[in-house]
Amino acid sequence: MIQDLGGSILLIGDFNARTSAADDYVDCHYFADHMPDTLSLGNDFPEVLPKQHNLDKGGLKGWHNEFLDLCCSSGLFIFNGRITGDESGECTCFTNGGSNLVDYMVASPALFDCATSFVVHKCFLFCGKKGDSNHMPLSLHLQLPWQHVSSTTSKSCVDICRFKHDASKCTQYCQHLQQQIT
């Protein structure tokens, strides 16, 4: 897993899951109190996990079980309603049926200390009569520690593929895609 290699994960998107106030982590205190012989679950909790708030008063709905299982099994935490700027857990989707929170940012615990603000923009630029989207844009500001990485490699390093856009190959790429589709 990437977190085991010292990396962090940040997932952003419409997970089509209404989680309400359900926990996005395994409650290790329960295991410590009720099953003292259980091995450590290895969840890398932030030093202080802020209480999650959520203005979506609807019940659990959609892919909530799968989404919460993803968080619990991977050690990721929901940032909505926990980071400065979105302390209340603003709704992110507005439809004729009402408003709800289905667009999330979930991340590794290490990113809690780096998150300086989280905003659900009250911008209907992408919404409305044209039907472009009924979801509000989200933004997360991170202040990441900068590390100089040596350009030397060793045999123990994982090979990383790097891609660079080449505008001169756009036509060739589109033709190849068209051949694959037909």
In a domain, 157, yes or no: no
Rounded alpha-carbon distances, angstroms, from residue 115 to 15, 68, 98, 109, 143: 21, 21, 29, 10, 6
Query: pTM of this prediction?
Result: 0.65
In a domain, 166, yes or no: no
φ/ψ (deg, to 5) at 117: -165, 150
In a domain, 111, yes or no: yes
In a domain, 34, yes or no: yes
Report, as an integer, the average pLDDT of 104-125. Answer: 85
In a domain, 78, yes or no: yes
Name the residue with higher pLDDT: 88 or 27. 88
Report, as an integer, the average pLDDT of 12-29. Answer: 76
Assigned token pair, 97: 């049926």
DSSP state of 4: G
Q: Collapse the DSSP code of 175 into the 3-class scheme (helix H, G, I; strand E, B; otherwise coil) and give the result.
A: helix
In a domain, 165, yes or no: no
**CA separation for the pair 135, 12 (Å, rounded):** 13
Structure confidence at residue 109 as a pLDDT band (50, 70, 90): confident
Whether 28 contacts 43, CB under 8 Å: yes
**CA separation for the pair 142, 128 (Å, rounded):** 30
Per the listing, tokens 């507005």 go with 94
Q: What is the domain extent for residue 122?
A: 2-145
In a domain, 112, yes or no: yes
pLDDT of residue 35: 45
Name the residue with higher pLDDT: 106 or 178. 106
The domain tally of the chain equals 1
In a domain, 170, yes or no: no
